[in-house]
Amino acid sequence: MKKHNFSAGPCILPQEVLLKASEAVMDFNNEGLSLLEISHRSKPFVDVMEKARSLALELLGLEGKGYKALFLQGGASTQFLMVALNLLEKRAGYLNTGTWSDKAIKEAKIYDDVYEVASSKSAGFNYIPKGYDIPSDYDYFHCTSNNTIFGTQMKAFPKCDIPMVCDMSSDIFSRTLDFTKFDLIYAGAQKNMGPAGTTLVVIKEDILGKVSRKIPSIMDYKQHIDKGSMYNTPPVFAVYTTMLTLEWLKNLGGIKAIEKVNEMKARVMYSEIDLNPLFKGYSVKEDRSNMNATFTLINDNLKDTFETMLKEAGINGINGHRSVGGYRASMYNALPLDSVKALVEVMSELETKA
């Protein structure tokens, strides 16, 4: 039985992508060699890298607008550091919406002054702060578009006169936005893009070159741009599989098309959470994430019954993050509506039983 996979990341990928990736491990392009065995400087792989980079910009509507796309190693966690190394000269403003922003702040603080423009910490990060000011003399403003752990999502972005940097790890390519508002976007591949092991960085080139520190080569966006995202050996398999997923998304109709499906999935999920008296949602309604629905069982006695039923229905990966508890249904791009329906069915069946 193919499972319904609600994993928070690494997470479900389109079946056709898995099939092509699996085939390429045995024989890439019918050339008698595995994708894993060929030189990253060979034309077939350089083509893959270039296609992945241009698809990323195309899907975001950023082609020909001064942006460059990179596929780096090190995860989004390395971007916490690279952003500060490349952009932080005196002071930066960070919006704190939970664990990931928190880590980004901590990593940047080593280098210079970091100011929290707002935080929802005292409310357990169950909402997105609004109405804060972003001082126009700061180096940049940093925010996290979707908090994967608490299940909150920024539905609007602040007016920002300084470069805006956004960690979109858990909702990139899931909804239409005016991406030209952002000057640097980064996202680990392992949610909406591909397997763990590569991170997309999209940069407006003109924000670079403004800090006085000497940046280590491997941490320097400029070096990676100059080398066509091949400053050193790229994570070949992760980039290829990401390229396949971006192709899949383009063929589906791009972000606009997937956004409709994602909205539908979220509606079905949250209706059940709200209407079913056995469950309650974790985050405030207006800031709920369309990617990660966080909720709890009101009566803990039902836990074992519920989890047995989930298992029987082939529902996988809905345990909440250890720091929040409860449940988290992650509904990334590749998750079919049918999987959400299957989960919702178990939830309403539990209601009949209880």
Binders of its own copies among residues 190 to 209 (CB under 8 A) are: 190, 194-198
Q: Which DSSP string corresponds to 283-301?
A: S-GGGB-SSEEEEEESSGG
Asked if residue 335 lies in contact with residue 262, where contact means CB atoms within 8 angstroms, the answer is no
**Paired sense of beta strands 146-147 and 152-153, if any:** antiparallel
Catalytic residue of the set 68, 102, 139, 191:
191
Is 68 a known active-site residue? Answer: no
Flag whether 233 is marked binding: yes
- The long-range contacts involving 209-217, CB below 8 angstroms and separated by at least 24 positions, are 210/87, 210/89, 210/139, 211/85, 211/86, 211/87, 211/88, 211/89, 211/139, 212/89, 213/85, 213/111, 215/85, 215/86, 216/85
Question: In the block, which residue shows the tokens 């080139």?
Answer: 205
Piece of 102-110, 135-143, 263-271, 288-296 that binds its own copies (CB under 8 A): 102-110
Q: How far is the CB of 153 from ligand PLP (least distance, A)?
A: 11
Q: Is 76 annotated as a binding residue?
A: yes
Q: Looking at 100, 171, 248, 287, which residue is catalytic?
A: 100
Active site residue 167: yes
Site residues (CB under 8 A) for its own copies, limited to 282-341: 314, 316-317
- 303 classed as catalytic: no
Residue 77, annotated ligand binder?
Answer: yes
- By beta-carbon proximity to Mg ion, the closer residue of 163 and 197 is 163
R_g over Cα of the chain:
21
Residue 248 annotated as lining a ligand binding site: no
Exactly one of 279, 282, 306, 332 binds Mg ion (CB under 5 A); which one?
Answer: 279
Q: Which stretch binds its own copies (CB under 8 A): 50-58, 99-107, 282-290, 297-305?
A: 99-107
Coil vs helix vs strand at 321 = coil
245 and 193 in contact (C-beta within 8 Å)? yes
In whole angstroms, what is the distance from residue 62 CA to residue 179 CA?
7
Active site residues: 100, 167, 191
Residue ranges for the known binding site for L-glutamate are: 41
Given the rule CB under 8 A, which residues bind its own copies?
1-3, 5, 7-13, 18-19, 21-23, 25-26, 31-34, 36-40, 73-78, 80-81, 103, 106-107, 110, 188, 190, 194-198, 214, 216-219, 231-238, 241, 314, 316-317
